Structure 1
């Protein structure tokens, strides 16, 4: 900075300080700005959405990506059922960006169940279930979910995200403590914030750290909830459920497991983390899952004791004040669950192709993080620009995989995230990994 510019800067600073002193003196003597002065200055930025911090941050990210020549990886339009393959821009691509793990979305039996429900019940139940939205298909689905977990009852919500928000937000309060894995889904974090409970995260899958938190804090609170996921959607790993049950019993806490990505995936017959870990369903207090992955619908569920479910059914805001799950969606989820139970080979095919993918990826030197090689496998590239460019280049080669970029993950953990389907083939896996290796 030149001496002239420095002098100008100092002069402007002095003028600003003088004006601020005069304003404070005037206010102390009773002066107040007129509504016109207020609205046109101090509050102006607070009544325009283009001044919202989130929007401004988004523009910085978009402009930065544009300047680096990085194409947007978001909102790709799929023109049909998205499974092991999909249609994007009128071209068939190998698809690794959908949760259709068992290829049940689009299955003829699932489609027919939804069609039959439309003919019988229409496309909406048109009311909250507690007043006039209840249908037999709701009760059939909930009974089937409860039986699968070998617990007393279950309840389905119209949104997976709202399932966690409303359940945690309603059941816990300011006198309680919620401890969750640092990688827990946003819905559990929002539910914890809504509850007003004290919230403490622990290092990912570090159950020693969890025990330390409980030892130091349990005595200060009434209810304590531990929240983990059955299969972490960013990293493809899972926690030690048997030890978690021991910990929660020792410290008199509730244990909640979010099975959004683990149900229908883990375990020999797809019953989720409890089957993988050989733990009884009743040993976990709150089972949560979504209907949008292996169950081919939309929404979420809670399974557990009859006391838990009756409480939520009558008083949980996200259930009580929301319209009931559409009957066609419930029917599709129920049909998917029935297929999973009678065709466990789908889970075995998913396991086989997932293990093949991770084995070949590691052999090529790719960093797959802590993934156990079951449905969700990241390839960590360590740069958002590199991940976004790799995703775009792969799409040009007929391979669709989504990049996960900062701030969704730390910059050093930016990655391509591969969702495997039971219908992916060895040829598709080899082509994908060889193409990625060539591109990088």
Structure 2
């Protein structure tokens, strides 16, 4: 007798046992390939195929790449059905705001959809300089440079700034873009325990003297756990050890601080103590791209040397205009930050009351529900989706097996009723899966 997707009960059981052991799962037979053409040896291929086959064995539809019918904010429509949505970075609820859309449309009418070439080759559009000046003012720095991708910003800037004689020290949970930039640079890379400034200082004390330049990189708000660093401590130790401090504010702007200025405002730290501020345009600022804010000398150098800027098309004018208008609205309407933070605090409190493990989340914009097993996380996400709640599971190998979770991005658009309903749905789904397993 076969079960879902043509697998027998015994085959399904064996597959799940392999997954629990983090083994590999065989896929459909394919013609033998020579070693150099064998795609099965690509990095992570076996893990990917194991997770895919496990989902098929359980009849769980992939939660990824679902097409949304309209704007994805605190609520969304997927396949014509309404959902409470926790899978978008629309923290301030500005994506879809008519004023942001109008700014983008006006930029299209004036400049077209594309910059059509690199800014160095084809020249500036006024909106580029206006956006960069506004972002520099937001971070209280001398200058700013915008790139077409947040991920590419970290890769190209870190890859350009550091070389084989240098040292990059970063938090163990730092974003992939920083790790890729460090790899590109050829610098020595050392990861320290998450948010542990004392561990970072020990590493700098042990290794700083052997290297030319040192870069210490942390995030303002960690996207997997929703927790924060002690910015003042990291700024002080960077100066004690003659290191540059870089802070990735991708999930901080519009989320942290009373007015959404970021981790410096949240911690009461003078922004000038940070040498390099990095941020994205795709989250609170409801656009797409990234930026570096810092000293004029650094920005001028990057403008003429960073490969991801010099050799890349410039930021599309409508994207620059939408980010600029979103930043203006964020500053003019501080209630958005207050509502976001209240929603996140409520979600955190109710989740803990329901017995969920929320890890070290500060409850300011991101709250994980840590479930351990990748299968359990996938099952709970599927059950929640069936009940009208859209949340993405974060599974092995993105996180270690044992740390799989559901990751909730809160928005100023969520209501208290949305949050209470969603926690109730999750608790009921968890209890239902537990009862099924016990039977």
Shift, 1:77, TM fit = 1.0
1:104-183 matches, cutoff 5 A: 104-183=94-173
Give, in whole Å, the separation in 2 of the partners of 1:405 and 1:57.
11
Counterparts of 2:124 and 2:186 in 1: how far apart (Å)?
Answer: 31
Report the CA distance between 1:60 and its aligned residue.
2.8
1:97 to 87, 93, 101: 87
Equivalent-residue separation in structure 2 for 1:211 and 1:56 (angstroms): 38
Q: Residue 259 of structure 1 contacts residue 272 of structure 1 at CA under 8 Å; is this kept in 2?
A: yes
Deviation at 1:53, TM superposition (A): 4.2
Q: Which residue of 2 aligns with 1:69?
A: 59
Matched, 1:352 2:348: no
Shift of 1:54: 3.8
Instruction: Structure 2 unaligned segments of length 5 or more: list them.
Output: 1-30, 431-439
Kept in 1: contact 2:156–2:181 (CA 8 A)? yes
Shift of 1:67: 2.3
1:339 corresponds to: 329
Aligned: 1:283 with 2:269: no
| Structure 2 Cα separation of the partners of residues 57 and 363 of structure 1 | 34
Which residue matches 1:307? 297
In structure 1, what is the equivalent of residue 417 of structure 2?
427
Superposed displacement of residue 333, structure 1: 0.1
Match of 2:288 in 1: 298
CA distance in 1, matches of 2:286, 2:139: 18
Does residue 1:256 correspond to 2:239, yes or no? no
Q: 358, 380, 389: which one pairs with 1:399? A: 389
Residues 124-169 of structure 1, C-alpha deviations (whole Å, 9 max, x = no match): 0101001114110000000000011111000000010000000000
Distance, in Å, in 1 between the alignment partners of 2:274 and 2:73 is 32
Deviation sequence 1:277-327 (CA, Å, 0-9, x none) = 111221101100000000110000000000110110000000000000000
The residue aligned with 1:235 is 225
The answer to whether the 8 A contact 1:71-1:388 is kept is no
The range that moved more, 254-263 or 64-73, is 64-73
Alignment check: 8 A CA contact 1:181 1:205 kept: yes
> 1:321 matched to which residue of 2?
311
Q: Using the alignment, how far apart are the partners of 1:199 and 1:272 within structure 2?
A: 26
Shift of 1:423: 1.2
Displacement of 1:70 in angstroms is: 3.3
CA distance in 2, matches of 1:53, 1:229: 27
Aligned position for 1:59? 49
SS in 1 for 2:120: helix
Task: Provide the C-alpha distance between the structure 2 equivalents of 1:181 and 1:325, rounded to a whole number of angstroms.
Answer: 29
Determine if the alignment matches structure 1 residue 416 to structure 2 residue 376.
no
- With over 3 angstroms needed to count, the CA separation of the structure-2 counterparts of 1:337 and 1:67, relative to structure 1, is same
Q: In 1, distance between residues paired with 2:314 and 2:39? A: 33
SS at match of 1:180: strand
| Alignment check: 8 A CA contact 2:47 2:397 kept | no
Q: TM-score, normalised by structure 2?
A: 0.89
Distance in 2 separating the partners of 1:398 and 1:79: 15
Query: For the pair shown, which has the larger CA radius of gyration, 1 or 2?
Result: 1
* Distance in 2, Cα, partners of 1:304 & 1:95: 35
Distance (whole Å) between structure 2 residues aligned to residue 200 and residue 61 of structure 1: 30
The two structures have a TM-score, normalised by structure 1, of 0.89
Q: Determine the C-alpha separation between the residues in 1 that align with 2:72 and 2:58.
A: 30
State the 1:56 CA deviation.
4.2
